[in-house]
Amino acid sequence: MSSLLERVEYVRGPVARSAELGVPAKGSVSVVERRSLVGMPAWSNAFAHLRKDSRYYEIVEDTVCPEFRYRYFALTDRFGRAMAVQPFFVLDQDLVAGSGQRLKGFVDRVRRVWPRFLTMRTLMMGCAAGEGHLAAKDQATRAREAEVLSADIVRLARAEKASLIVLKEFPAEYREALSAFREKGFTAIPSMPMTRLDISTYKSFDDYLNKAIKSKRRTEFRKKFKAAEQSAPIELEVRHNAGDALDQIFALYEQVYEKSDMKFEKLTKAYFAELGRRMPDKARFFIWRQEGRVIAFSLCLIEGDKLYGEYLGLDYTIALQLHLYFYVMRDTISWAIENGFKEIVSTSLGYGPKLQMRHELRPLDLYVRHTSPIANAILRRVLPYLEPTRGEETLQKFPNYADLSPDRR
């Protein structure tokens, strides 16, 4: 069987064999386009144990942020055999995108005379629409992948004309494996975390409410639910795709996106359509209708016995009046318990209601390095002031807030 190096080409020209390049004996990395990965098990099986498998990365490349340059690291061992494929993308990154309003205001004033101030051409390893992962499932293989990647990623970033390298939002479970990057000059800082709710011991939503939530808070929640129940009937449909609700779902998503203070990728209508078409085994669209009109939706993905809430849309003309967020959470938790799920995981932001509902934080880390050693030394001092969680006071109220530090393993 031909090796990966025999079957793919660099984007910029033919691939040379690792021995000719003088690559370290532990393995080598090349940069490839997606077309080079067609039919290759190292790619088709990548991330198969996760909810966002290789199909998801292809959907994102096809439908989200066409201004990004999507590419892939192809890893081979010292014998030229395929080890793994690791997606990345290149973009112009605003370094203060996740910072507080005070710093943003200062930077905006500077940009009136220096438009690209604190904006850098950046190589981001991971997923443009979600947290990052290494392709392997076991820790030993992850460590080997990280070692090979960390040895070559600076050189490859320079070839992509990127000054900054970011490993985007990797869960805390990768801290041991990714220590190889810290040894190569990367600085690890916390990103906005996900949250998790353990529902494994509850028989129903009421059981969860009675056992997990204190009396005063239970009363508040029931008042919120009553507001929606006293309005026109609300019906929930759970399906594998958006179907004929696609236009209404996307309009609600745009409402939430525009209200968010922190923005990165903006999804497209095609993203929602393709997710349902290509990944019906993992995608679940929760759609709430009132008098035939879609008033809320939640896009979830399945990973084993975990249900991940990815994107939420609410009709803000009635959302506050009917306390729609809590109504949606109630129905989602109820459905998850009834269908045998043990855990609900939610993406970043909206921490206030999640704290009330007894979620725990699920830390995500950013690993950052400048390709210039001198600039990197300066960046290491600046990064603590740019890290996204600094301005989010609600995070400090979670019982496992200390876990956000990348130094905890």
Architecture category of domain 4-192+364-404 in CATH: 3-Layer(aba) Sandwich (3.40)
Helix (H, G, I), strand (E, B) or coil at 298: strand
Residue among 330, 349, 342, 72 at smallest CA distance from 218: 330
What predicted TM-score, i.e. pTM, was given to this entire model?
0.89
Q: What is the pLDDT of residue 113?
A: 54
User: pLDDT-based confidence at 73, cuts 50/70/90?
Assistant: very high
Residue among 235, 362, 355, 241 at smallest CA distance from 306: 362
Q: Please report, rounded to a whole number, the percentage of residues in the chain having pLDDT higher than 70.
A: 88
What does the domain layout of the chain look like in residue ranges?
4-192+364-404, 200-341
Q: What is the pLDDT of residue 88?
A: 98
Q: List pLDDT tens digits, range 275-295.
A: 999 999 999 999 999 999 999
Q: List pLDDT tens digits, range 245-278.
A: 999 999 999 998 988 777 678 999 999 999 999 9
Q: What is the pLDDT of residue 311?
A: 96
Task: Give the Cβ contact number of residue 43 at 10 Å.
Answer: 24
Q: What is the pLDDT of residue 408?
A: 79
**Average pLDDT in the 349-366 region?**
96
Q: List pLDDT tens digits, range 177-235.
A: 999 999 999 999 999 999 999 999 999 999 999 999 999 999 999 999 998 889 999 99
Task: Give the Cβ contact number of residue 220 at 10 Å.
Answer: 14
Identify residue 71 by its one-letter amino acid code.
R
Instruction: Output 386 or 162, whichever has higher pLDDT.
Output: 162
Identify residue 291 by its one-letter amino acid code.
E
User: How many residues in the chain?
Assistant: 409
pLDDT at 395 over 70: yes
Backbone angles phi, psi at 114, to 5 degrees: -135, 85
Q: Do domains 4-192+364-404 and 200-341 have the same CATH topology?
A: yes
Alpha-carbon distance 133 to 49, whole Å? 11
Instruction: Output 292 or 110, whichever has higher pLDDT.
Output: 292
Alpha-carbon distance 336 to 333, whole Å? 5
Q: What is the pLDDT of residue 94?
A: 76
User: pLDDT-based confidence at 110, cuts 50/70/90?
Assistant: low
H-run or E-run covering 237: strand 234-239
- Across all residues in the chain, what is the average pLDDT? 89
User: pLDDT-based confidence at 120, cuts 50/70/90?
Assistant: confident
Q: List pLDDT tens digits, range 47-67.
A: 999 999 999 999 999 999 999
Spell out the residues 6+ positions from residue 34 whose beta carbon is closer than 8 angstroms to its own. 58, 61, 70, 72
Backbone angles phi, psi at 388, to 5 degrees: -65, -30
pLDDT at 19 over 50: no
CATH 3.40.630.30 fits 200-341, yes or no: yes
Residue among 211, 187, 186 at smallest CA distance from 201: 211
* Torsion, CA 284, CA 285, CA 291, CA 296, rounded to 10: 130
User: pLDDT-based confidence at 96, cuts 50/70/90?
Assistant: low
